[in-house]
C-alpha cells in the first residue's frame, strides 16, 4: 500500500520557562493528537496505532507518554500506542515507522506524534539520582558533546564565528517574515489562545557579536544554536486507498526515508550522507529537490549541508528554523515536515527533503506534494 500524509501540525513552540511551561507533557501531546484528528474530521476510532516520540522519557514523560496523552485526551483505548527515542529525529522517525507499517499492510490509518517539555524535563540525565549514567565507566569512544561537534563541523568547513552569527540572524529574519506573512499559520494547533512561536527575537549582527560562546573558546553562541523549547506535534497518515475511501485529499507521499548513524567525531554532520542515500534510492539528485528543511540544531549543520551539496540559499530553510522558532527535541521532526509541505504549496512545487541531525539516529525523509 502507498502511505500518504493527510495532515501534519503542531502546537506553537514556547521558550524555556515560557508560555507552555505550565502544561504537563501528556496534556500538550494529547492536545496535538486530538488537534490533528479534529482538523481532518476523521473518526479517532479509525486510528489503529499511534507512534510518538520523546527524547527524555523520564519524570512526567515516562511510561509511554504517547499512551498517557492519548487516553487523557479521551481518544479510543483500543488504539495501540508506542513511544520511541531517536534523538532529535524522533518525530520524523515516528512518521517513518507509521508509513512503513502502512506500506507492508499492517495498518491502514496511523498517527505519528512527538513531544518535549524541556522546561520541565531537561534534556540531560540527572547525576546523583542513584540511577547511574548512560555510559559505563569503561567508555572510551571519541563521542563529543553536541556543542563540541557543532564547532568541529564549523572548523572543518571553514566557517567563522561571523558566518555562524549571520546564519543565526538569517533564521530569525526569515522566521519573522514567515510569521508576518501568515505562512506558518496553517500548521498551528492553538493552545489556550497561543498561536505563535515564542522564541523569535530582535537580532542584529552587532548584538549577536556580543554573545558569549556556548563553550569557552568555541564558535557557536545562543544566537546560532537551537533554543530549548516546549512543544508537541502530530501527523495523520494512511494508505492512499483509505484516504480516497474517506474523501480526504492527502498532502504528500513519502518517496524514501532513512535513519542512520554517522561519524561520531562530528556527530551532527550525517544529514549530508543521509540525503545522498534517500536520493539515490529514489533515483533522484539534489537538483530534483525544491525545498530543503535541515534542522538548525546549530548553524554549522545546515551550512555544512548546503556547502557540500551545493544547495542555493533560497531552497534551504526558507522560513527560518530551530534557531528562531525553537527545538523541542521530540516534536521537531513533524514541524519540519509541516513547514516543508506549506512551502511546497506556496511555491506550487513538488519535492522536499527533510533532514534532522543526531549522532545515532540522523533521520531523513524525501516527500512529494500531492
Active site residues: 88, 327, 357
Half-sphere exposure of 226 (CA within 13 A, CB side): 27
CA-CA distances (angstroms) from residue 76 to 47, 72, 94, 246?
Answer: 9, 10, 20, 19
- The residues near 47 (Cβ < 8 Å, ≥ 6 apart) are 37, 75, 76, 79, 109, 110, 111, 236
* Burial of 265: CB neighbours in 10 Å, binned 0-12, 13-18, 19+: middle
Rg over alpha carbons for the chain, rounded to the nearest Å, is: 19
Phi and psi, residue 57, nearest 5°: -85, 60
3-state secondary structure of 254: strand
How many other β-carbons are positioned within 10 Å of the β-carbon of residue 143? 14
Residue 90 near residue 151 (C-beta atoms within 8 A): no
DSSP 228: P
Closest by CA position to 295, among listed 321, 330, 320, 260? 321
Q: Is the dihedral of CA 276, 278, 279, 281 positive or negative?
A: positive
Amino acid at each position: 500500500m502507498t502511505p500518504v500524509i493527510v495532515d501534519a501540525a503542531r502546537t506553537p513552540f514556547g521558550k524555556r520557562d515560557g508560555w507552555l511551561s505550565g502544561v504537563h507533557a501528556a496534556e500538550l501531546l494529547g492536545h496535538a493528537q486530538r488537534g490533528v484528528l479534529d482538523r481532518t474530521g476523521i473518526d479517532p476510532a479509525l486510528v489503529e496505532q499511534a507512534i510518538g516520540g520523546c527524547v527524555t522519557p523520564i519524570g512526567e514523560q515516562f511510561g509511554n507518554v504517547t499512551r498517557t496523552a492519548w487516553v487523557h485526551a479521551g481518544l479510543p483505548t483500543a488504539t495501540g500506542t508506542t513511544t520511541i527515542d531517536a534523538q532529535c529525529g524522533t518525530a520524523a522517525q515516528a512518521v517513518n515507522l507509521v508509513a512503513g507499517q502502512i506500506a507492508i499492510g499492517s495498518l491502514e490509518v496511523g498517527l505519528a506524534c512527538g513531544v518535549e517539555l524541556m522546561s520541565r524535563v531537561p534534556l540531560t540525565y540527572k547525576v546523583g539520582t542513584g540511577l547511574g549514567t548512560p555510559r559505563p565507566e569503561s567508555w572510551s569512544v571519541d563521542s563529543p558533546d553536541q556543542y563540541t561537534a557543532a564547532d568541529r563541523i564549523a572548523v572543518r568547513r571553514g566557517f567563522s564565528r561571523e558566518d555562524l552569527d549571520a546564519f543565526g540572524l538569517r533564521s530569525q529574519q526569515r522566521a519573522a517574515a514567515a510569521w508576518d506573512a501568515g505562512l506558518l499559520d496553517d500548521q498551528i494547533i492553538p493552545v489556550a489562545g497561543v498561536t505563535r512561536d515564542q522564541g523569535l527575537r530582535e537580532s542584529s549582527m552587532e548584538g549577536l557579536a556580543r554573545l558569549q560562546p556556548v563553550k569557552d573558546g568555541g564558535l557557536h553562541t545562543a544566537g546560532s544554536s537551537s533554543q530549548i523549547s516546549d512543544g508537541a506535534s502530530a501527523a495523520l497518515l494512511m494508505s492512499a486507498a483509505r484516504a480516497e475511501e474517506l474523501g480526504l485529499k492527502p498532502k504528500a507521499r513519502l518517496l524514501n526515508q532513512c535513519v542512520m548513524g554517522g561519524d561520531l567525531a562530528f556527530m551532527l554532520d550525517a544529514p549530508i550522507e543521509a540525503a545522498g542515500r534517500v536520493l539515490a534510492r529514489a533515483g533522484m539528485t539534489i537538483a530534483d529537490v525544491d525545498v530543503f528543511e535541515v534542522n538548525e540544531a546549530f548553524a554549522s549543520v545546515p551550512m555544512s549541508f548546503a556547502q557540500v551539496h551545493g544547495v542555493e540559499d533560497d531552497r534551504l530553510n526558507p522560513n527560518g528554523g530551530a534557531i528562531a522558532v525553537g527545538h523541542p527535541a521530540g516534536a521537531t521532526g513533524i514541524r519540519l515536515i509541516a513547514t516543508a509541505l506549506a512551502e511546497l504549496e506556496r511555491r506550487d512545487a513538488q519535492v522536499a527533503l527533510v533532514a534532522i541531525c543526531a549522532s545515532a539516529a540522523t533521520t531523513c525523509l524525501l516527500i512529494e506534494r500531492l
